């Protein structure tokens, strides 16, 4: 299954679950099969697959099947998109604080 078009709703929703974040964590070290990904978790395989579907629909992960094993890998561009969204807002705020700082020091200058 190829990657879905990344969607912020689905991406952040996918990242909101600790199981799915643990999977991303595992996948950041390299691709893995479904059963490899399932191993650390005390839940049924269908549950694991449902988590993987959430990750794949969000675009954060892609997978392809070869023979009977599905190999899952991380999609760094999608991760980057989510990261960028946060960064943009955070830096906007930071710039605003900078401008406020400038204004303050200008007024101090006027007073001195």
What are the residues binding DNA (CB under 7 A)?
Answer: 13, 16-17, 19, 33-36, 38, 42-47, 49-51, 54, 65-70
Which residues face 72 on adjacent strands? Answer: 32, 63
Which residues face 70 on adjacent strands? Answer: 65
Closer to a copy of itself at the Cβ: 30 or 109?
Answer: 30
Min dist. Cβ of residue 28 to DNA (A):
19
Measured CA to CA, the distance from residue 61 to residue 6 in angstroms comes to 10
Q: Is 18 in the site for a copy of itself (CB under 8 A)?
A: yes
Min dist. Cβ of residue 48 to DNA (A):
8
**Residue labelled with tokens 């890998």:** 73
């Amino acid at each position: 299954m190829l990657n879905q078009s990344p969607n912020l709703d689905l991406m952040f929703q996918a990242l909101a679950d600790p199981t799915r974040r643990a999977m991303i964590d595992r996948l950041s070290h390299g691709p893995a099969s479904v059963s490899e990904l399932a191993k650390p978790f005390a839940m049924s395989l269908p549950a694991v697959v449902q988590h993987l579907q959430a990750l794949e629909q969000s675009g954060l992960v892609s997978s392809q099947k070869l023979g009977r094993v599905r190999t899952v890998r991380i999609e760094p561009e999608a991760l980057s998109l989510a990261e960028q969204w946060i960064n943009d807002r955070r830096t906007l705020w930071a710039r605003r604080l900078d401008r406020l700082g400038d204004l303050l020091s200008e007024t101090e200058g006027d007073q001195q």
